[in-house]
């Protein structure tokens, strides 16, 4: 493998020539005009060569904040364009990324040339494209069984869940190339590597230079959502999308020990080019958190720093226009990759490369992080597997379903970019103008949704009536173990009843979400044959709780899987309820007293419909399943 570094003069000359050739050969006319215009202006300046910067290569550069040129040791990872195993990203001047067909054609060639690699399809997308995964192991394993037999830890890296954010795809292609045909074969001696270059394959092909206006490259970027307009990184818990269903099955079959989801940010400007995070210590996988925080993060940040990058934790500003207000520490719910990993005890890392950094810099930073990940997992796999085991079988007696925000006692230093606030002549509002100059914000506040809110006791099991087939199938997809009752069974259980349901006013990810006030009641009931029992003393017991407890942030109840329980289907006419109410009062003096007490509420007393409904709800004719959660909690 050949690698090279430029002197500053050669670097700028190469950038100049690359821009000209790309514009004239295959970049859109609009980009050509913008580039040619910029070049003309630069030639008019006294020092035209030194005024050209690598940033001025994308069509949206003129509307993005200024940046300083970047150069780092990781540039030695790049292969010269005339080498046979140069990736399309390298061949096209680090500005572009290949389409689906070209990506898979290059990877097919690589797989065919290597005894370490195999390619498997996870399934078809809605538009009929295969979602491919590359299996890399020193033994050349082709199946999940063969991979597990080598007793090594397995790292799963996924790129392109948002297909405009494909840094991981090009970085992973380079890394696989260097493992197969470079000097990095030893990376696989003590670890397995699974690589999904593009998860959202249909969205990847909805490509344009006008996607993701806030991002510096690649030139053509895919779309954020799937062909069905679903955001895959809101879909882990409900698992509606076909792509997500394929991914979850893959996790269940291949059983990775570490899962990496590669993204690119939106939002503010700052110095970090590679930020990453995972679950918090207050979450559902505290042992995994400890491994990630004390072993993984220090190794990754050291490697990135050594290679000329600036790593940091995930960045979410409390107020994009006022950094003094601080940043948020995110405790994600299971709709997100890292929240889902926390719930199912799969250590999961969310990478968010900084969108305002040039594509080349972001890809190289991702490469360094993936390579060091393989090294770190290989060296610490026993501790990683032990942490996962501890989390899977912790089975806490109390489980937090939702969280409140709190200010943490310790702030953090933040490597930001200076800015000024101006009044926009366009909108009339104040806007942020990033200057491109580094600025350290010392000990800014940190806010986190880490204060427990709703907490429930852990039931021994849940019971789901057999008619709720969609719910049962979704739990099965996640890999949650279930058994079926083979005969009618009487149990003592707890049942939720709802009041004051609130439905979302607009569709969200294809669902009408719902929240409601809940009350829990003890019942004894006879369960029919075919009822599904979900025990909570299993590796995915916490995930089952978070999907079946209605107050959980991403429960199937919240996502509307049970919305038909809010539909009234039987009624009683006023002419029938009047004599019924009189009969009920005559036969039940206690009811008479209860009714008189209810009448002390003037709103109730003046609402004739509410008064009739009061009697109907207490009659034997009332629907006893209306506003009642069909899933039961059992203590035994």
CA quadruple 396, 402, 404, 408: dihedral sign: positive
Helix (H, G, I), strand (E, B) or coil at 59: coil
In tens, the pLDDT along 119-166 reads: 999 999 999 999 999 999 999 999 999 999 999 999 999 999 999 999
Question: Which pair of tokens denotes residue 173?
Answer: 């292609």
Please say if the pLDDT value at position 4 is more than 50: no
Q: Which two tokens stand for residue 292?
A: 């990630």
CB atoms under 10 Å from CB of 487, counted, come to 8
Please tell me the distance from the alpha carbon of residue 487 to that of residue 163, in angstroms, as a whole number: 49
The whole-number pLDDT of residue 50 equals 32
- pLDDT for 28 beyond 70: no
Strands (E), 445-565: 446-452, 455-457, 461-464, 483-484, 489-503, 514-527, 532-535
Residue 18 reports pLDDT greater than 60: no
Q: At 537, is the pLDDT very low, low, confident or very high (cuts 50, 70, 90)?
A: very high
The two beta strands, 430-444 and 483-484, are unpaired
pLDDT classification of 636: cutoffs 50, 70, 90: confident
In 3D space, the residue among 249, 259, 260 whose CA is nearest the CA of residue 120 turns out to be: 249
Q: What is the mean pLDDT of the chain?
A: 91
617-631: burial string, b at 16+ Cβ within 10 Å, e else: ebeeeeeeeebebbb
The count of C-alpha atoms lying within 13 angstroms of the C-alpha of 593, restricted to the half-sphere facing its C-beta, is 3
What per-residue confidence (pLDDT) applies to 140? 97
- Residue 415 reports pLDDT greater than 60: yes
| Predicted confidence (pLDDT) at residue 419 exceeds the cutoff of 50 | yes
DSSP 8-state class, residue 556: T
Helices (H), 459-507: 469-477
The predicted pLDDT at position 17 comes to 41
39 pLDDT higher than 70 = no
Tell me which H or E stretch contains 23.
helix 8-25
pLDDT digits (tens, 9 = 90+) for 214-267: 999 999 999 999 999 999 999 999 999 999 999 999 999 999 999 999 999 988
Give DSSP secondary structure letters for 311-349. Answer: EEE---BS-TT-GGG-EEEP---TTSHHHHHHHHT--EE
**pLDDT score recorded for residue 283:** 96
58 pLDDT band, cuts 50/70/90, is confident
- 498 secondary structure, DSSP code: E
SS (H, E, C) 288-316: HHHHHHHHHHHHHHHHHHHCCCCEEECCC
What is the rounded distance in angstroms from the CA atom of residue 219 to the CA atom of residue 464? 50
Each residue of 590-603: pLDDT tens digit?
999 999 999 999 99
Is 118 in contact with 111 (CB distance < 8 Å)?
Answer: yes
Residue 280: which of 168, 406, 167, 184 has the closest Cα? Answer: 406
Q: Are 449 and 331 in contact (CB under 8 A)?
A: yes
Q: What angle do CA 628, 629, 633 make, to 5 degrees?
A: 125
Dist CA 411 CA 425 (whole Å): 36
Q: What's the CA gap between 475 and 463, in Å, rounded?
A: 13
The two structure tokens encoding residue 370: 């993936």
Q: Rounded distance, CA 311 to CA 349, Å? A: 14
Distances (CA, A) of 396 to 392, 430, 459, 554: 10, 49, 11, 20
Distance from C-alpha of 547 to C-alpha of 561, rounded to nearest angstrom: 11
Distance (Å, whole) CA 226 – CA 423 = 37
Which alpha helices (DSSP H) does 445-573 contain, by range? 469-477, 541-548
pTM of the model: 0.88
Q: Which alpha helices (DSSP H) does 65-155 contain, by range?
A: 88-91, 100-113, 144-148
Range with the lowest mean pLDDT among 50-59, 194-203, 240-249?
50-59
Q: Find, among 301, 279, 495, 468, the residue nearest to 388 by Cα.
A: 279
Q: In the annotation, is 209 catalytic? A: no
At residue 414, the pLDDT reads 97
Of 115 and 59, more confident: 115
pLDDT at res. 76: 98
614 within 8 A of 603, measured Cβ to Cβ: no
Q: Is 578 helix (H, G, I), strand (E, B) or coil?
A: helix
SS (H, E, C) 232-266: HHHCCCCCCCHHHHHHHHHHHHHCCCEEEEEEECC
What is the tens place of the pLDDT at every residue in 370-407?
Answer: 999 999 999 999 999 999 999 999 999 999 999 999 99
Is the predicted pLDDT of residue 340 greater than 80, yes or no?
Answer: yes
Catalytic residue among 306, 406, 437, 578: 406
pLDDT of amino acid 432 = 94
Burial class (CB in 10 A: 0-12, 13-18, 19+), 172: buried
pLDDT at 21 over 80: no
For the cut 90, the answer to whether the pLDDT of residue 111 exceeds it is yes
**CA torsion through residues 89, 338, 314, 421, sign:** positive
* Contact in structure between 121 and 130 (CB atoms under 8 Å): yes
pLDDT interval class at 625 (50, 70, 90) = confident
User: Alpha-carbon distance 99 to 201, whole Å?
Assistant: 10
Peptide bond into 218 cis (omega under 30): yes
Q: Between vectors from CA 586 to CA 583 and to CA 590, what angle results, nearest 5°?
A: 120
The values of phi and psi at residue 580, to 5°, are -65, -45
Whether the predicted pLDDT of 472 surpasses 80? yes
Task: Count the neighbouring beta carbons within 10 Å of the beta carbon of residue 482.
Answer: 16
Quick one: pLDDT at residue 622?
A: 81
Q: What is the pLDDT of residues 75-105, one digit of tens each?
A: 999 999 999 999 999 999 999 999 999 999 9
- Return the percent helix, strand and coil in the chain, to nearest 5: 35, 25, 40
Read off the pLDDT band of 14 (50, 70, 90). very low
């Amino acid at each position: 493998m050949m690698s090279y570094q430029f002197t500053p003069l050669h670097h700028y000359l190469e950038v100049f020539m690359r821009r000209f050739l790309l514009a004239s050969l295959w970049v859109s006319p609009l980009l050509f005009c913008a580039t040619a215009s910029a070049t003309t202006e630069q030639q008019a300046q006294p020092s035209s060569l030194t005024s050209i910067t690598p940033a001025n290569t994308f069509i949206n550069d003129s509307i993005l904040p200024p940046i300083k040129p970047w150069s780092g040791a990781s540039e030695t990872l790049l292969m010269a364009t005339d080498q046979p195993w140069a990736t399309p990203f390298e061949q096209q001047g680090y500005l572009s990324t290949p389409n689906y067909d070209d990506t898979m054609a290059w990877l097919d060639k690589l797989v065919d040339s290597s005894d370490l690699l195999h390619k498997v399809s996870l399934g078809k997308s809605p538009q009929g494209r295969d979602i491919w995964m590359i299996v890399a192991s020193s033994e050349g394993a082709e199946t999940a069984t063969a991979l597990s037999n080598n007793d090594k830890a397995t790292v799963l890296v996924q790129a392109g869940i948002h297909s405009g954010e494909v840094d991981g795809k090009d970085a992973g292609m380079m890394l696989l190339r260097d493992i197969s045909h470079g000097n990095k074969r030893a990376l696989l001696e003590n670890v397995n590597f699974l690589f999904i270059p593009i998860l959202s394959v249909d969205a990847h092909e909805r490509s344009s230079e006008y996607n993701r206006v806030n991002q510096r490259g690649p030139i053509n970027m895919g779309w954020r959502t799937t062909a069905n307009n679903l955001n895959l990184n809101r879909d882990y818990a409900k698992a509606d999308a076909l792509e997500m269903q394929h991914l979850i099955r893959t996790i269940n079959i291949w059983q990775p020990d570490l899962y990496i989801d590669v993204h690119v940010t939106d939002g503010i400007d700052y110095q970090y080019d590679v930020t990453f995070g995972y679950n918090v210590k207050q979450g559902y996988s505290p042992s995994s958190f400890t491994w990630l925080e004390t072993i993984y993060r220090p190794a990754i940040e050291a490697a990135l720093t050594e290679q000329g990058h600036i790593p940091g934790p995930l960045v979410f500003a409390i107020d994009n226009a006022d950094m003094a207000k601080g940043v948020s520490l995110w405790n994600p719910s299971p709709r997100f990759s890292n929240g889902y990993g926390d719930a199912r005890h799969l250590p999961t890392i969310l990478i968010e490369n900084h969108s305002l950094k040039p594509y080349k810099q972001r890809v190289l930073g991702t490469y360094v992080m993936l390579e060091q990940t393989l090294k770190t997992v290989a060296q610490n796999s026993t501790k990683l597997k032990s942490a996962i085991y501890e989390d899977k079988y912790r089975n806490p007696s109390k489980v937090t379903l939702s969280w409140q925000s709190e200010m943490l006692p310790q702030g953090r230093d933040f490597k930001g970019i200076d800015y000024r606030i101006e009044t926009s002549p366009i909108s009339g509002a104040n806007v942020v103008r990033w200057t491109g100059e580094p600025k350290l914000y010392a000990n800014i506040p940190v806010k986190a949704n880490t204060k427990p809110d709703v907490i429930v006791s852990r039931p021994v099991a849940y019971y789901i009536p057999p008619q709720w087939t969609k719910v049962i199938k979704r739990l099965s997809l996640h890999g949650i173990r279930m058994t079926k009752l083979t005969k009618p069974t009487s149990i003592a259980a707890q049942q939720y009843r709802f009041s004051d349901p609130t439905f979302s006013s607009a569709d969200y990810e294809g669902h009408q979400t719902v929240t409601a006030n809940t009350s829990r009641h003890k019942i004894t009931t006879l369960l029919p044959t075919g009822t599904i029992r979900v025990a909570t003393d299993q590796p995915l017991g916490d995930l089952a709780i978070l999907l079946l407890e209605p107050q959980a942030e991403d429960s199937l109840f919240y996502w509307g899987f049970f919305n038909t329980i809010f539909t009234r289907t039987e009624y009683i006419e006023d002419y029938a309820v009047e004599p019924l109410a009189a009969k009920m009062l005559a036969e039940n003096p206690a009811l008479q007293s209860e009714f008189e007490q209810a009448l002390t509420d003037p709103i109730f007393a003046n609402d004739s419909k509410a008064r009739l409904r009061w009697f109907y709800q207490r009659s034997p004719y009332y629907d006893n399943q209306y506003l009642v959660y069909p899933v039961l909690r059992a203590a035994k």
